[in-house]
Each structure stands twice: as C-alpha cells, then as structure tokens.
Amino acid sequence: MSLSAAPRTVGGPLAASGRELADMLGGMLLVDGTQPIRGCAVDSRRATAGQLFLALPGEQTHGLHHAIEALRAGATAIVVEVGESTAGIQQPLAEVELAVRASGASLIRVENGRVALSRAAAEWRNRFTLEVIGVTGSVGKTTTKQLIAAALGGESAGCAATPGNANNEIGLPMSLLNLPDGTVRYVAEMGMYVEGDIRALCALARPRIGVVTAIDAVHAERAGDLDAIERGKGELVEALPSDGWALLAADDLRVARLAARTPARIMTAGHAATADVRIVDAALDEASGHTLVTLQIRAETVRVDLPLFGLHFAKAAALAIAVADRCGIAPSEAASRLAAVQLPSGRATVRMMSGMRVIDDAYNAAPSSMTAALATLAACRPHRFAALGAMGELGSYAADAHSAVGHAAATSGLELLVVFGAEADGIAEGARAGGMPIEKIMRLSSDAAGIAAAVGLLGDMASPGDTILVKASRSVALERLVDGLAARWSEEAK
C-alpha cells in the first residue's frame, strides 16, 4: 500500500490469520489460526484479547512458560523465539501448541523475537499517514512527551504517546502496534544506551518532528563520553525529512548545535533571548503546587498554569507549545490543555503530608535534573530539606557530577541534607566543600535501616509549610522514604 493511498487513522487488524502474520515476521508457521491479530504484549499479565503474545527468552525464564496465560487472556497468536536449539523448551513448546490448537489461535516460531517485533511494527507504521513526533534527551524526555501529548489534545484528539518510558527496541515497536484506533498523531519517546539505538527507532517510527530536551552524562557508563551521547541523540534530528521540524532546547549548547546536523527546519525553545518560544518567567505557586510559566511566541504572550511543581518544567512547557504550534494548534489552546497534564508517580510529584510538602522525584536522577530540582527547592519557604541518593551509570563523570550536586545543595539554604549510600558520598563531600556546615549533612545507608533513620530524622525536624525533596536514580529506590514519611505522618494524624 502506498503512503499516499494509506488511510490516515490507525485501525483494522495487523494480520487476518497466522499465515499472514508468519509471512510478515519471516517466521515458521506451526499452527495456522484464522482469528485476526491486532496489538502485541510481551508480559502475559498485560495481554489482552486479540493480541499476539511475543514469548522472548529472559535471564530467569522463557516467555514460553507464560504463553498459556496469554491465551487465557484472549491472545490470538503466540510468537515464540527459538534459536537453533530447542533444548529446555521442547516440553513447554508442545504444551503451548496443544493449547493454541484448542483455542483456535496461531503459533509462529521465529529465530529472533526483537527482529520479528520490529518487522511487525514497521509494516503497521507503513500503513498509516501518522504525524510522528520523536522526543529524546538525557533528561526530561518522558515529561516533555507527556506535555506534548496533552498540548496536542491527547487521545480524545487522536494523539497517542508511548506509555511510561517504553522507549527502547521493545517498548517503542510495541507502542506502535498498540496504538488506539483513530490515532492521527503519535508522540514517540526515544531512549539510547549506545550510538545507533535512536537511528533504529527512527527507522521504525519515521518522525517528521523531532524534539531534543537535553544532553547530559546519563548512561555514560555504557554510551561513552558526552560527545558520543551528543552524536547518539543527534540521530533523531538527522532522520527528519527536509519538510520536518527539529525543535531544540535553546539553553543547552550541545542540543543547540544539533541544528547543523539536520535537513529539517529549526525551532528553538528556552530562556535564551533568541528562542522562538521564549520563557519570559517561571514562578512557583506553593499554595497550589503549580508552576506558572509565561512564554513569548512571535508577538503573542502565552501563560501556562502547570499543575506541576518545578521551575524546570517551564522548558518542557515551551517545547510542548512549540510542537503544538508546528501542528497548527493555537498556542493559547495548547496552553489551556496543559493545565490538566499529569505525570506518573515519582517524577517531581508533590505530595502534601500533614502540611509538609514532599517532592517525590525518586524515579530517576541525572546531574542537570538534580541541580534543577535543587533550584526549585531553593525557591520554597520557609524551611527546606533534601534527601538525595546516587546518580547511576555516569562512568568517568560520576565523581565530578556528585560533587557538583553537593555544591548546589550547599547554596540551596537547606536545614538538612541527607545522603544515602556510599555511592553518593561525593554529594556530601561536595556540600561540605561548598560551605555547608557539617552538622547539616547526614550520611545514611540506603538499606531499610537507613531509610527508617531518615524517616525519623525528617519527621522530627520538618514542620507544616516545609518542603522535602526526595531524589535519586531508580536503583536507590528512595520511594521507600516517601512511603515511610507518608506512613509516619498518617499515623500521627490519627
């Protein structure tokens, strides 16, 4: 089907039968069911009726062991990755085949499940004239993706987005295959570990608009140095067509210079005086937990009342308004839509607990997002506390990055800085070197005992009106502290 003849909106089955699906995937048809297949799952607990279930080998077990659960959920095709050897899976494969025949579903064997998934997603994508907006960046891409989808009207306006942070070689093609009927725009989050990752995702999604939020030392342990990360993130703008748009964060030097690497037209957003969407002002409303942002786009002043707490959200709002503008949506309309945006738990979510404000930002951390969160904390009154853990996968940048975060903490006017785990000792050392009194720095282990100690310490010191920032890389699991504080103050309120 040629692109010009393709229907604009998503709909219909991926394949009408097992034979059609096997041909699409380049796989071996073991059982030819006649039920149509639409969508994909790799977790049997999330499988829904009509989907194909992709059974991949894992570190602990093979997805084949969960295929019968997917059939019970209504899956109409099982696609199983089996290499040259079937050692260890012959019996479960035979059992699944019996169950597949009994249910009328299809069973297909492929040598490489990820390749098969990509083939299915590419075929599906090519059927529709989707407007795809690719979003990448070392930090802020999930938040920016959410704000862009909201500014474009969300699902009620035919705009879908990758769920959560499903931004890799499995998550993105699955997201494409699971697009709701009627989708006309798709906001695709794109992550990377090494160069080439984003190029491969772009080959699948084929974005016309690309957004780059920031370039930082995230995943440097695997990706390499900042230059390698810049090259990897730049793969998004390189993949854009000449009639497309590269929307770049104006205040990040490495992002701004990606303009030289794209055939697309350029639009910028940020605080810079030359930005096409300029952040004129950003202020926190502590009473409501909102961030009030004033933007200038051409001759128009746009005010955004974001139900998010953080000065750094102004950049995401500016990029979202820029995307909406390029999609023909009035900036004022996009701004009104942003007033209802919501972020997943753990991403700078504000939780009020017995009058104390807890900024739950425990999902992830990077050098730039840490300093941005501390800048937001510094604007809060009357008293401020920070509970920080390590930033993971920074490679050779780790020592300097943790020290710099400590220096930022030292200038944030904190009543107390709590640092969790030996991996984050550099934050404590940086804070001390930055002039923070040693009695205001507490080092604790990141185990249950350390979390319990922090709950007691912060619970005793904080008073109604105070603000506590909780932030670390995901591996530190500081949501345990947030839950502990909630439990303590809930008990006290009884």
pLDDT digits (tens, 9 = 90+) for 159-188: 999 998 899 999 999 999 999 999 999 999
Q: Looking at 15-19, 191-195, 324-328, which range is the least confident one?
A: 191-195
Check residue 219 and give its pLDDT: 66
CB atoms within 10 A of CB 438: 9
Cα–Cα distance, 32 to 183 (Å, whole number): 30
Cα–Cα distance, 325 to 296 (Å, whole number): 12
Check residue 221 and give its pLDDT: 67
Q: Is residue 1 part of a domain?
A: no
- Residues 305-331 have a mean pLDDT of 97
Cα–Cα distance, 291 to 284 (Å, whole number): 5
Q: Which helix (H) or strand (E) holds 306?
A: strand 300-306
270: nearest Cα among 292, 296, 235? 296
Q: Which of 338, 363, 391 lies at the terminal end of a domain, its last residue?
A: 338
Residue 492 has pLDDT above 90, yes or no: no
Check residue 4 and give its pLDDT: 40
pLDDT digits (tens, 9 = 90+) for 356-388: 999 999 988 999 999 999 999 999 999 999 999
DSSP state at residue 390: P
Cα–Cα distance, 204 to 198 (Å, whole number): 10
**Any idea what the Cα angle at residue 248 is, between residues 247 and 253, rounded to 5°?**
165
User: What are 138's two structure tokens?
Assistant: 């070392």
95: nearest Cα among 55, 136, 57? 55
Q: Which of 338, 373, 402 lies at the terminal end of a domain, its last residue?
A: 338
CATH number of the domain encompassing residue 88: 3.40.1390.10
Check residue 89 and give its pLDDT: 85
- Residues 439-449 have a mean pLDDT of 98
50 and 80 in a single domain? The answer is yes
pLDDT band at 217 (very low <50, low <70, confident <90, very high): confident
Count of domains for the chain: 3
- Residues 423-430 have a mean pLDDT of 97
Q: Are 478 and 384 in contact (CB under 8 A)?
A: no
Mean model confidence pLDDT for the chain: 94
CATH number of the domain encompassing residue 356: 3.90.190.20
Residue 101 has pLDDT above 50, yes or no: yes
Residues 6+ apart with CB under 8 A from 156: none
Peptide bond into 344 cis (omega under 30): no
What domain range is 41 assigned to? 12-112
Q: Are 96 and 67 in contact (CB under 8 A)?
A: yes
170 and 288 in a single domain? The answer is yes
Q: Which helix (H) or strand (E) holds 177?
A: helix 171-177
* DSSP3 helix / strand / coil % (the chain, rounded to 5): 40, 20, 35
90 and 194 in a single domain? The answer is no
Cα–Cα distance, 118 to 139 (Å, whole number): 26
pLDDT band at 220 (very low <50, low <70, confident <90, very high): low
Burial (CB count within 10 angstroms: exposed 0-12, middle 13-18, buried 19+), residue 481: buried
Q: Which of 78, 112, 146 lies at the terminal end of a domain, its last residue?
A: 112
pLDDT band at 442 (very low <50, low <70, confident <90, very high): very high
418 and 292 in a single domain? The answer is no
Residue 84 has pLDDT above 90, yes or no: no
Residue 392 has pLDDT above 70, yes or no: yes
Residue 105 has pLDDT above 50, yes or no: yes
Q: Is residue 353 part of a domain?
A: yes
285: nearest Cα among 269, 303, 262? 303
Q: What percent of the chain has pLDDT over 90?
A: 87
Q: Whole-model pTM above 0.85?
A: yes
Residue 81 has pLDDT above 50, yes or no: yes
Residue 2 has pLDDT above 50, yes or no: no
Cα–Cα distance, 147 to 258 (Å, whole number): 22
DSSP state at residue 180: P
Instruction: Determine the 3-state secondary structure of 435 from DSSP.
Output: coil
pLDDT band at 127 (very low <50, low <70, confident <90, very high): very high
271 and 301 in a single domain? The answer is yes
**Phi–psi pair at 269, nearest 5 degrees:** -145, 135
Residue 136 has pLDDT above 70, yes or no: yes
